[in-house]
Amino acid sequence: MIAITGGSGEIAQQVALDLSKTQEQFRIYSRSKNAQFFAAENTITVSNYDEIAFDDRMDTLLVTNGSFIFKKFEELSEDEINIQLVSNLESVVKIIWNFLRATNQSQSRNIFVVGSTAAYDLGAKAALYGACKLALKGFLQALNREYAHTDTRFTYISFSTVDNSMGKLVPDQISSTLLNIEEVSEEITLRILRRRNYYEPEVILRRRFIQEHKN
């Protein structure tokens, strides 16, 4: 059984749509009741991501939580700083912690976390966002070492700006260069469903034509 968090987001919804075409069982956790693409019986509304009660039969986790604010660091409000720290880092860490504690440690488990190429680029007006994503990348790298003696593996999936509502928060984007959300979700779904004698610690999907953000 597959667990998806950040269920009201467009990436999570598209992956859920892809999974609904398969025989896989999945559950989507969201703080919103927006269930645009997936069946209501698969959706679990939670008040706090820190306290999700995962089913012990689950063996796969996809974490899509996150928020993005495109603004100079000193212009961020304290609330905006807290929102980004919690949604992009703190909540993700606690979700993974809860999943590992709730599920069977002796079975094969795969944890996928949606990151961003901002973790590598660390560009202007996205300093805090990029730093959180970089911290997540390092966190999963350390966990892969910590769980090396088990059959639990962690994958960090990064992609460039997607042609969705979050991607459009960056002004003056050339829409033809943005990644297609259906194609990105297809790549994520492919890896979730793959059962092989290998795993990918990092997956990076970049735009063929990268557009520099204006300072």
Whether 211 is in a domain gets the answer no
- Each residue's pLDDT tens digit, 24-63: 999 999 887 655 555 567 888 888 888 889 999 999 999 9
Whether 95 is in a domain gets the answer yes
- Token pair in block for residue 215: 């300072």
Contact 25, 2 (CB under 8 A): yes
Radius of gyration of the chain, Cα coordinates, nearest whole angstrom: 17
DSSP secondary structure of 105-127 = TTS-EEEEEE--THHHH--TT-H
Give the range among 36-40, 100-104, 208-212 with minimum mean pLDDT: 36-40
Whether 131 is in a domain gets the answer yes
- Each residue's pLDDT tens digit, 142-186: 999 999 999 999 999 998 877 766 666 676 776 777 888 899 999
Whether 183 is in a domain gets the answer yes
Whether 199 is in a domain gets the answer yes
**What CATH number corresponds to the domain at position 100?**
3.40.50.720
Q: State the Cα–Cα distance between residues 148 and 117, nearest whole angstrom.
A: 25
Q: State the Cα–Cα distance between residues 206 and 162, nearest whole angstrom.
A: 10
DSSP secondary structure of 151-179 = TEEEEEEEE--BSSTTGGGSTT--GGGSB
Whether 214 is in a domain gets the answer no
Count, residues in the chain: 215
pTM for the structure as a whole? 0.90
State the total domains in the chain.
1
- Token pair in block for residue 60: 């796969």
Contact 64, 3 (CB under 8 A): no
Whether 60 is in a domain gets the answer yes
Is it the case that residue 70 has pLDDT exceeding 80?
A: yes
In sequence order, which residues have a C-beta less than 8 Å from that of residue 13 and are 6 or more positions away?
Answer: 7, 36, 37, 38
Domain that holds residue 21: 2-205
